[in-house]
Amino acid sequence: MEITHRRMNRVDLLEVAGRVDAATAPHLKQQIDNLFNEGRYRIVLDLANLEYISSPGLRVLIEARKRAREWKLTDLEGGDIRIANLPPRIKEVFDLTGFTSLFELYNDTVEAVGSF
C-alpha cells in the first residue's frame, strides 16, 4: 500500500494505491487519524490505483467516516470522508458489503473535492 497526501485549502486528498489488507490497514488508519488530530475532517480518498481491499480496510473506512461526520463546523458544513474513482473490482466488494450506500462516491477527484 502507498498513500500520497495532497493538502488543499479546505480538503485533504489521500491517494491510496496497492493492497489494503490486515497488514496495511493500520497504516491507512494512522494516516487518517493524523489528519483528524490536526483538525482536518474533510477528506477525499482517491482509490483509482487501489488494487485490493479486505475487511480490515473496510473497517477503517467505516470508522473514519463515522468520526469525520461527528465534526460539525456549522449546521450545513462539516466533516466527511468521500470517495473518488472506485475501481470496478473494489465496487464489487462495496456492493457485496452494502458499502455502496454508506459512502458518497464520485467519478473523479475534482467532483469529490468540489462536493465539500
Residues binding other proteins (CB under 8 A): 19, 21-23, 52, 54-56, 58-59, 62-63, 65-66, 69, 89, 93, 95-98, 102
The minimum distance between CB 110 and other proteins, in angstroms, equals 25
Which residues are within 8 A (CB) of 106 and not within 5 positions of it... i.e. 6 or more apart? Answer: 44, 82, 83, 84, 85, 112, 115
Nearer to other proteins, 35 or 64 (CB): 64
The minimum distance between CB 59 and other proteins, in angstroms, equals 5
Nearer to other proteins, 76 or 96 (CB): 96
Amino acid 61 reads: L
Q: How many CB atoms lie within 10 A of CB 86?
A: 22
Nearer to other proteins, 14 or 58 (CB): 58
The minimum distance between CB 6 and other proteins, in angstroms, equals 26
| Exposed/middle/buried for residue 76 (C-beta within 10 Å: 0-12, 13-18, 19+) | exposed
Amino acid 108 reads: D
